[in-house]
Amino acid sequence: MIIKTYCARMDHGGCGILAHVENGKITKIEGDPDSPINRGTICAKGLAQIERLNHPDRLLYPMKRMGERGEGKWKPIPWDEALDTISDKIKKTIERDGQRAISFAQGTPKGLELYLMIRLANVLNIPNISTPGNICHMPRETASNITCGFFPIPDYSGAPACVIVWGSNLFQTNEEGIIGSQLKQVIDRGAKLVVIDPRKTGVASVADLWLQPRPGTDLALALGLLRVMIDENLYEKTFVENWTEGFPELADHLQPYSLDRVSELTWVPKEQIVKVARLFSQTKPACIQWGNALEHNRNSFQCSRALLMLMAITGNLEVPGGNVNRQAPPVMRPGDLVQIKTFPDKKEKMMSPEFRLATNMGFVPSQMIVKAILTGTPYPIRMMYIQGTNPLLSYANAKETFEAMGKLDFLAVSEIFLTPTAQLADIVLPAATQFEFDDIGHFGLPHGFILARPKIVDPLGDCWSDSKILNELGKKLGVAKYFWNDMGECLNEILNPAGITYDDFKNIGILRGKWEYKSYEKKGFHTPSGKVEIYSQQLKDWGVDPLPHYRELPESPYSTPELFKEYPLIFTSAKDPFYFHSSHRNISFLRKLSPEPNTLIHPETASHLGIAEGDWVSIETKRGTIRQKAKLNSEIDPRVIILSFGWWFPERKDLKLSGWKESNLNILTDNGPPYDPVIGSTPLRAVLCRVCKAQGD
């Protein structure tokens, strides 16, 4: 039997796949050639799903810690005992310290479980939910909402004639609903391609123009491009005059951003900046594919705003082949699913109101949770419930995160495997994988469609989906009226506005909204002025720059020249194409493809430091030191190194917490200010460092 579904939880998901099933087991996974998203393509992570599903190290039963945290002594317990323990801890914490002393946390959204976590927190009036939103997607989404009122998606089906890929690498990592095969089809049809990335990625290798900026200077580069377009009258005058607010102010604001200054700041030659400005503005239609790399410094929100202005003044918003608005299908609204109305004063009770846009989106930047645990400021956090994330690897300043996890009165973690973070838990809950429960993919994401991801096999052991865990925990906590008899009822309720059941949806596979172009001509843009707000009065009223202003990074050759003498290299990072953040290091099929953490170093730099290909090297910042393996690359800037992200060693039983700090680049990062002022982004890239050959190797 062959069952159609969509890939999930190995990456952001979205590729149509065919699961071959025999005797209740999946025997083969292949790409679905009829899928409108990937048309049969599939990556290594997609192929590795069977190994993860049947992995011998999977958590199969709830477990209670018996020894010291991290000691590895566990006792299997029934689900009732596990949920009773967690619910009792939540109730007692609320009774003693109030709802604010509890934090829920999740990593990258993967399905409905994030919304059910928020729902549970809201109906209990627990205000603090930690997500990576401040460094992943939300700077772009909130900037879009402020500037044009929607999140602009590159319209690859509309045949763009030019694409700028900025801080994204679709050939190796999926971008929440957009995958590399869609971009490749556009390139194969002859679209001009510009790639902006410090690393020569696979996408950059086929680009017409590759710009290699100094890490962290994307905003300065965007402002330079805007300056060229305005100086040379390359903008779309009719659209600018009729549909933008604040263009004259932008033109004045850009005067300090001369080509000379922008080139000096970014290390990009002036002639390349001019070429890209002319190509993007004169080749119609054109779109920008922006990525997560833009969101890892104090300029993340304003950088996103500047890229939105590039889309707007060139007339590429809401046109075929440009960046478009994809309306969601007619299903339950996310705000209704999370029961936001049950907690009307949530914003006033969240711990970081200074990050106004993070608060508006309902999350607390992770570093604020960590600091509250350690300092009790603005109030103490006593317990956490974590699902789908591994903070020891994914949170900035891993040493401080480790200290915070150890200080909690109680920690519950839902996981598939015993990650370093799960090893610190008091209760570990065994999570089901995607093939073991019915789910809806891409709900709440701004890409205009949802995907049916039906249950294909029974869960191993006594695993539950995260959504089921939260549903049952809600009943234990006395708020059963907000939850369902089973998750089938939940799925049907979500789909009810579309007039279908989940059984209907499984046969449909994908449900789209009503997609149209130039909807602003009927009703304007969803902003206070009804136009694209280049100059934002709303931001000014909040005390935030109404126009993007580049601020030098807290560590750089320019802002801290003395520190640069001591740490004369700049590190940025890259996600490994065979893993998803810190996941999958225990999947042998993938580990063979990428066995060790590599640091890319220019051969000249390596020679100067006495480092050869394959040497283990020590990378040091003023916060700590890690080890990775040198890989020489002549196409990076000699002043820059590129680290691997998310590394731990599940096979190393001799190392504490599976080697969580051996090669973990977040040992090197900082979680202190200055943050992005409205969303709370932290500096995860563009950090000053030094490198030497590791002793003993």
C-alpha 410/C-alpha 282 separation (Å) is 58
C-alpha 686/C-alpha 517 separation (Å) is 38
Q: What is the mean pLDDT of residues 359-387?
A: 97
DSSP 462: T
pLDDT per residue as tens digits for the range 438-486: 999 999 999 999 999 999 999 999 999 999 999 999 999 999 999 999 9
User: Beta strands 192-196 and 162-166: pairing type?
Assistant: parallel
pLDDT of residue 10: 84
pLDDT of residue 171: 87
pLDDT greater than 90 at residue 170: no
Phi, psi of 339 (to 5 degrees): 55, 45
pLDDT greater than 70 at residue 106: yes
User: Beta strands 102-106 and 192-196: pairing type?
Assistant: unpaired
Structural contact between residues 191 and 276, judged by C-beta atoms closer than 8 angstroms: no
pLDDT per residue as tens digits for the range 305-361: 999 999 999 999 999 999 999 999 999 999 999 999 999 999 999 999 999 999 999
C-alpha 656/C-alpha 399 separation (Å) is 13
pLDDT of residue 695: 84
Token couple for 258: 């001369």
Q: How confident is the model at residue 581 (pLDDT cuts 50, 70, 90)?
A: very high
Q: Which domains does the chain have, with CATH numbers?
A: 2-47 (2.20.25.90), 63-134+330-440+452-512 (3.40.50.740), 152-324+518-541 (3.40.228.10), 561-693 (2.40.40.20)
Q: What percent of the chain has pLDDT over 90?
A: 95
If residue 681 lies in a helix (H) or strand (E), which one and from where to where?
none
Structural contact between residues 689 and 561, judged by C-beta atoms closer than 8 angstroms: no
pLDDT of residue 176: 67
pLDDT of residue 697: 58
Q: What is the mean pLDDT of residues 169-195?
A: 89
Q: What percent of the chain has pLDDT over 70?
A: 100
Q: What is the mean pLDDT of residues 549-560?
A: 96
C-alpha 112/C-alpha 116 separation (Å) is 6
* The one-letter amino acid at 439: D
pLDDT of residue 479: 98
pLDDT greater than 70 at residue 54: yes
Q: What is the mean pLDDT of the chain?
A: 96
pLDDT of residue 536: 98
If residue 620 lies in a helix (H) or strand (E), which one and from where to where?
strand 616-621
Structural contact between residues 250 and 230, judged by C-beta atoms closer than 8 angstroms: yes
Cis preceding linkage at 603, omega within 30? no
